[in-house]
Structure 1
Amino acid sequence: MNIAIVGAGITGISTALEFARDGHQVTVYEQMNAAAEDASFAPGGWLLPCATQSLATPGAGMPFKQLKSGAGLTQASSMIGSPVWRWARQWKKHEKNASKHGNNALLTSLSTLSAYSASLRWQDCEDTDIAAERKSGTLIMLRTPQEVAFWNQQLPLLEAQNVACKMLPPPQAQALEPGLGQEITWLNAVYFPDGESINPRLWAQYLRLQAQEMGVAIRTGIQIQSISKQPVGVEITGTLQRHDAVVICTGTNHRLLQNLQLNLPIMPTWGYSVTAPVRDGLQAPRSAIMDWAQQATISRVGQRVRITAGLELGSSAEAPQHTHTLQRMYRLLNDWFPGGAQLSSPQVQVWRGSRGHLPDGLPLTGPSGHHGIWLNLAHGSHGVSLAAGCARAIADMVADRATAIDMQAFHPLRF
C-alpha cells in the first residue's frame, strides 16, 4: 500500500517505521523544516511503566482542582462557558467516575498500552545509551504526608498491574541520586526501577534514519491544505497527492481535523523545558526525578540537565513565555540539584511546546470514520512512552490484522 503519514514527530516517525517494516511505500509530510522540531523537540523524555504526570488519566494523577490551585504551575482560563471550562468539566466528570468506582479502567488501558509500547521500543536498536542518551531508574519525590498517603494507596494498584515500584526513605533515595540537595525538605520517594528517561529528539532522529534506510520518504516544509476523503490523499498547493491510506499524527492541528468534520475535544496544553550543561557530574542527576507537588521533572540528558514543568491550557504559539513559571523552574533545579547545572551558561536552552490532551486522558488511535483515513494523535504527556505501541497497533489495523492488545479504549469515535 501507498501510505501517507502527516506529522514527523516521535509518533509520526514511529508510525512510518512500522508501516515500512510491513513492506509498504511510505511518505511522511511535515510542516516544519526537519523531523522532531515541534512537540518532540525538547520535552522531558520521562518514561514510566505507568501514568503519573498531571493530566495522565482522570483520577490517576494530581486532582484537577489541585492543579488549578497553582501547585502544578498551571495557567488556565476559568471563565464559565470558555472552551477550557467546558473541557475541564468533562475531565472532572471522568475523574469523579474513577473515584466513585474505585477501579480506574482508563488507567488500566493506558498502563497496558504503555507496557506494550515499552516491549517494542528498543527493537532493532543496538546501543540504546548512544541512540537516546537513555538512563534507567526514576524517582517521584514526595514532600507532604498527604502525598505519601496518596502514593501508599497507589502502590498496591500498580503492583497488581505488575509495575515494579516501592516507597523509599530518604537515605535509600539519596543513595540512588547523591546530588539531591540537602536544604530541600521531602519525606519519601517512590522508586520505579524500570522507569527510564531519554532524549526524545535524539531518539526521534535515530528512528528517522532507520525509516529512511527502509525507503521512507520524508518531505519537510510541506503545508498540507486539506485531507481528501475521495479519492484518499493530501492536498498540497492545490495538487492532490493520492494515497491508499492517510494517517494523521499531528499534535494539535485542529484545522485538518475540522476539514474532515471531526470536532474532537482536543485541548492544547503548553509546557516548558530548560536544558543546561552539567556543571558538576557528582551534583547533577544520574537519571530522572519528579517533584510531585510541582509536577516538574528533572533528568540527565547526556552532558546536560533538563527540567520540564508548566501547564498552560488553551494557550497559543503566539503567547509570551510565562516568566513566573520559568523563574520557578530555575529555583526548583537549584533546590533539587544545587551546583549540578550551569544555569548562567550561554548554552542554556529554553523551550515551550504543546501537546494535545483529551478529557479522558487517552490518545486517539484508530479509524477516523472516513474510509482510508486514520488517526494516531492526542497522546498528551505520553507521546514518547506510547509511540511504539500505537504505531504498531495502527499498522495492524490498516492491514486488517488483530492488534496485540485491545485498542477499543483508544478508538477515535468514542467522542
Structure 2
Amino acid sequence: MNIAIVGAGITGISTALEFARDGHQVTVYEQMNAAAEDASFAPGGWLSPLAAQSLAAPGAGMPLKSLRSGASLLQAPGMLGSANWRWMRQWKKNEKLAHKQGNQPFCTALHTLGSYSASLRWQNCEDTEMAAEHKAGSLVLLRTPQEVAFWNTQLASLQTLGVTCQLLNATQAQALEPGLGQEIAWLNALHFPDSESINPRLWAHYLRMQAQAIGAIFRTGISVQKICTQPTGLEISGQLHPFDAIVLCTGAKHQLTESLGLRLPLMSIWGYSVTAPVRDALQAPRAAIMDWAQQATISRMGQRIRITAGLEMGSHASARHHNHTLQRMYRLLNDWFPGGAHLSSPQVQVWRGNRSYLPDGLPAVGPSGHPNVWLNIAHGSHGISLAAGCARAIADMVQRQTPAIDMQAFSPQRF
C-alpha cells in the first residue's frame, strides 16, 4: 500500500517505521523544517506511564478552584464556562469515575499498552544507551505522610498489574541517587527498577534514520491543507496527492481532525523543560526522579540534566513563558541536586512544548470514521512511552489484522 503519515514527531516516525518494515511505500509529511522539532524536541523522556500516574490520570487530583492561582501547576486561562473550563469539568468527571472503579480500567489499559511498547522499543537496536542516552530505573520522591499514605494504597494495584515498585526510606533512596540534596525534608521514595528514561529527540532521529534506510520518505516544511476522503488523499499547495491510507499523527495540531468533522474533545496543554550541562558528575542524577508534590521530573541525558514541569491549557506558541513555573524548576533542580547542573552556562536550554490530551487520559488510536483515514493522536505526556505500541497496533489495523493487544480502550469512537 501507499501510506501517508502526517506528522514527524516520535509517534509519526514510529508509525512510518512499522509500515516500512511491513514493506509498504511510506511518505511522512511534516510542516516543521525537520523531524522531532515540536512536542518531541525536549520533553522529559520518561518511559513508564504509571510511574507518573498523576499527570496521566484524569484530573491529576487538582480541585478546579486551585487553577485560579497563578502559582498553580496547571494554568487554565479563561472564565468559568469557557472551553478550557468545560474540558476541565470532563477531566474531573473522568477522575471521579476512575476512583469509583479503583482506577483499574485506566491503569490496566495504560500499563498494557506501555508494556507492549516496551517489548517492541529496542528491536533492531544494538546499543540502546548510545542510541538514546538510555538510563534504567527511576525514583518518585514523596515529601509528606499524605503522599506516602496515598501510594501505600496503590502498591497492591501496581503489583497486580505486574509493575515492580518498592517504597524506600531516604537512606535507601540516597544510595541509588547519591547526589540528592540532604537539606530537603522528605520522607520516602518509590523505586521503579524497570522504569527507563531516554533522550526523546535523539531516539526519534535514530528511528527516523532506520525508517529512511528501508525506504520511508520524509518531506519536511510541507503544510497539508486538507484531508480528502473521496478519493483518499492529501491536498498540498492546491494539488491532490492520492494514497491508499492516511494516518494522522498530528500531535497538538487539531486543524486536520477538525476539518474532517471529528469532534474529539482534544485539549492542547503546554509544558516546559530546562536542560543544563552537568557541572559535577558526583552531584548529578544517575537516572531519573520525579518530585511528586511538584510534579516535576529530573532526568540525566548523557552530559546534561533536564527538568520538566508545568501545564498550561489553551495557550499559544507566542505566549510569554510562565515565570513562576520556570523559577520553581530552577529551584527544584538546585535543591534536589545542588551543584549538579551548570545553570549559569550559556548552553542552558529553555523549551516550551505543546501536547494534546483527551479528558480520559488515554490516546485515540484507530479508525477515524472516514474510510482509509486513521488516527494515532492525543498521547499527552506519554508519546515517547507509547509510540512503539501504538505504531504497531495502527499498522495492524490498517492492514486489517488483529493487534497483539486489545485496543478498544483507545478507540477514537469512544467519544
| TM category, shorter | over 0.9
SS of 2:225's equivalent in the other structure is strand
| Structure 2 counterpart of 1:241 | 241
Aligned to 1:20: 20
Amino acid corresponding to residue 394 of structure 2 in structure 1: I
Q: Deviations over 1:297-332 (max 9, x none)?
A: 001011000000011011111111111111110000
Q: How far is the alpha carbon of 1:64 from its aligned partner? A: 5.2
Aligned counterparts, 1:7-406, within 5 A: 7-48=7-48, 50=50, 52-58=52-58, 61-63=60-62, 65=64, 68=67, 73-77=73-77, 79-406=79-406
Cα distance between partner residues in 2 of 1:55 and 1:288: 16
Structure 2 residue matching 1:120: 3-state secondary structure: helix
CA distance 1:7–1:307, change in 2 (3 Å) = same
Distance 1:87 1:95, change over 3 A: same
Contact 1:53 1:295 (C-alpha < 8 Å) held by counterparts: no
Whole-angstrom CA distance in 2 between matches of 1:290 and 1:126: 29
Deviation string 1:325-367 (CA, Å, 9 cap, x unpaired) is 1111000000000000000000000000010010000000000
Does the 8 Å contact 1:71/1:294 carry over to 2?
Answer: no
Q: TM-score, normalised on structure 2?
A: 0.97
Alignment partners' CA distance in 1, 2:384 and 2:80: 34
Amino acid of the residue matched to residue 285 of structure 1? P
Q: Secondary structure at the match of 1:366?
A: strand
Please give the secondary structure, in 1, of the residue aligned with 2:387.
Answer: helix
| Structure 2 CA distance for partners of 1:243 and 1:84, relative to 1, 3 Å | same
**What is the CA distance between 1:224 and its match in structure 2?**
0.6
Displacement of 1:9 in angstroms is: 0.3
Change in Cα spacing, 1:201 to 1:257, as seen in structure 2 (3 Å) is same
Q: Secondary structure at the match of 2:300?
A: strand
The 1-side partners of 2:66 and 2:51 are apart by 16
For the 8 Å contact 2:49–2:382, the answer to whether it is kept is no
In structure 2, do the counterparts of structure 1 residues 132 and 66 end up closer, same or farther at CA, with 3 Å as the change threshold?
farther
8 Å contact kept, 1:49–1:194 = no
Q: CA deviation at 1:72?
A: 5.8
Shift of the alpha carbon at 1:63? 4.1
Paired residue for 2:6?
A: 6
The count of corresponding residues between Structure 1 and Structure 2 is 414
Query: Which digits, 9 at most, give the CA deviation of each residue in 1:11-53, with x for residues without a partner?
Result: 0000000001111000000000110000000000011162524
Using the TM superposition, give the Cα deviation of residue 381 of structure 1 relative to its aligned residue in structure 2, in angstroms: 0.4
TM-score (structure 1 length as normaliser): 0.97
Structure 1 contact 71–293 (Cα < 8 Å) conserved: no
State the 1:244 CA deviation: 0.2
Letter in 2 for 1:124: N
8 Å contact from structure 1 (residues 49, 115) kept in 2: no
Change (3 A) 1:72 1:290: farther
Q: Which one-letter code corresponds to 2:306 in the other structure?
A: R
Rounded to whole Å, the distance in 2 between the matches of 1:99 and 1:224 is 41
8 Å CA contact 1:114–1:389 kept in 2: the answer is yes
Letter of the aligned partner of 2:347 in structure 1? Q
Counterpart CA distance in 2 for 1:378 and 1:111 is 17
Q: More displaced, 46-55 or 334-343?
A: 46-55
State the SS of the aligned residue for 2:56.
Answer: coil
In 2, Cα distance between the equivalents of 1:332 and 1:87?
Answer: 30
**C-alpha distance in 2 between matches for 1:3 and 1:64:** 44
Q: C-alpha separation between the residues in 2 aligned to 1:14 and 1:64? A: 36
Deviation at 1:102, TM superposition (A): 2.2
Asked if the contact 1:273/1:306 (under 8 Å) is kept, the reply is: yes
Q: Distance in 1 between matches of 2:389 and 2:409?
A: 14
- Match of 2:215, SS state, is coil
Q: Offset at 1:75?
A: 1.1
Deviation at 1:374, TM superposition (A): 0.2
Displacement, 1:252? 1.5
Taking the aligned partners of 2:399 and 2:299, their CA distance within structure 1 comes to 38
After superposing on structure 2, the runs of 4+ consecutive aligned residues of structure 1 that deviate more than 6 Å are none
Give the superposition deviation at 1:103.
4.4
Which residues of structure 2 form unaligned runs of 5+? none
CA positional deviation for 1:182 = 1.0
1-structure distance, mates of 2:70, 2:90? 20
Gap regions ≥5 residues in structure 1 = none
CA apart distance, 1:372 = 0.4
Q: Which amino acid aligns with 1:284?
A: A
Whether the 8 Å CA contact 2:49–2:56 is kept in 1: the answer is no
How far did 1:57 drift?
A: 2.1
**Sequence identity percentage:** 72
Question: What's the RMSD between the two structures over aligned residues?
Answer: 1.4
Distance (Å, rounded) in 2 between the aligned partners of 1:204 and 1:101: 36
Separation in structure 1 between the aligned mates of residue 357 and residue 49 of structure 2, nearest angstrom: 19
CA shift, 1:413, in A, is 1.2
1:160-215 Cα shifts (integer Å, max 9, x gaps): 00000010001110000000001111100000000111000000000000000000
Q: Could you tell me how far apart the structure 2 residues matched to 1:103 and 1:352 are?
A: 30
